[in-house]
Amino acid sequence: MRTQVVIIGGGPSGLLLSQLLLKAGIESVVLERKTRAYVLSRIRAGILEQGMVGLMREAGVSARMDAEGFVHDGTLLATENTTFRIDFARHTGTSVMVYGQTEVTRDLYDAREAAGGAIVYETEGVTIHDPKTDAPYVTYVTGGTEHRIDCDYIAGCDGFHGVSRGTIPASVRREYEKVYPFGWLGILSETPPVDDELIYASSERGFALCSMRNAHLSRYYVQCPLTDTPEDWSDDAFWDELKRRIPEEAAERLVTGPSIERSIAPLRSFVTEPMQWGRLFLCGDAAHIVPPTGAKGLNTAASDIHYLYHALRDHYLDGSEEGIARYSERALARVWKAERFSWWMTTLLHHFPDQTPFDLKMQQAELAFLRDNEAAQKAMAENYVGLPY
């Protein structure tokens, strides 16, 4: 088999790239290790920056997002039982879209399959060959049979544990990482959200986040020790702890109910450089991880796809090589800014085990400055809705 671009990974970033390439008349094949049902069963983030919203529209897969997504013009920050609002619309003239990553992925799968785009599920032993040459190819196994795809370029959209990053020799890669000493216990419940906008809460007991997927499906988180397991927390224990960490007026109107999903996610910041090796390009979690505090995980993957899609389109349609040559440079420039924002929000709102009384006072002062300073609010709003590509 031959195609122009092999995309390793059938998550939202790989699917979005495939759909954008399809619109430009560029052939691709998507290789996915799991089944479609498995990919869609994963619970992920739900805040889309304006750039991601624009890419969905450009890819022709925005109809359900535009009809069912929730436009948020701001967000709420709470500390010491007081709440203040960051007004995205006033400070930036834009907003974010609340639309679950699972729904994004479903829309992209539906579009890919409706267009007859090639997706190979349940692939094993995916191996990237000769990416530093003009004739790269990928081999994989399905049903006990090995297959080969010759191609021009390879997009590694296969996540942190995928094969793509490891294909780049360790002597070439430089990796940067910070592991945070806590996790997020999250639950999904079929209850109405406690507020029309997200509430980020910093309390003496630790961080909490009140989020949502739709008008009848809520997503809540509390900071917890890394030693905890989901089984350590009953639903009642979770709701009781959440109420202690959010403002009293929010706790009083909180609607509780049985959880339909409960999990603990560790937090880390991670970047690998470069994001390109020959004709292999890394995208999304294959190249970088952010803590979820700033809602940047899917959105940084989307910015990678923006740069790679435009690079490939310029190559095939205009004969320009600049985008391909500068992909890693351009992608990393924006990635590091998103990493900074996610790190800043994480350190601002969480309690760390080794914090001193001075450290806590600095957190309180930073929050007070953000509450009272228009320039600080504008900077946060600009980063939250998404820096320009």
Query: b/e map of 232-256 (b: 16 or more CB within 10 Å)?
Result: ebeeeebbebbbebbbeebbeebeb
Q: What share of the chain is helix, strand, coil (3-state, %, to 5)?
A: 40, 30, 30
**Amino acid found at 324:** I
With tokens 């294909």, the residue in question is 167
Question: How far apart are the two ends of the chain, measured CA to CA in Å?
Answer: 34
Our answer to whether residue 316 is catalytic in this structure is no
Q: Of the residues 137, 140, 200, 221, which is catalytic? A: 200
Distance, in Å, from the CA atom of 333 to the CA atom of 388, rounded to the nearest integer, reads 11
Our answer to whether residue 109 is catalytic in this structure is no
Q: Cα dist. 336→33, 160, 320, 366 in Å?
A: 29, 17, 26, 22
Q: Of the residues 136, 292, 307, 316, which is catalytic? A: 292
Our answer to whether residue 72 is catalytic in this structure is yes
Element of type H or E holding 14: helix 12-23
Our answer to whether residue 389 is catalytic in this structure is no
Structure tokens that stand for 357 in this block: 């009384």
Our answer to whether residue 384 is catalytic in this structure is yes
Q: Of the residues 91, 288, 296, 310, which is catalytic? A: 296
Q: Is 279 exposed, middle or buried (0-12, 13-18, 19+ CB in 10 A)?
A: buried
**Amino acid found at 28:** S
Residue 142 per-residue DSSP state: E
Q: Cα dist. 120→7, 8, 34, 149, 288 in Å?
A: 10, 10, 9, 12, 25
Structure tokens that stand for 343 in this block: 């790190």
- Which residues form the catalytic set? 72, 200, 292, 296, 384
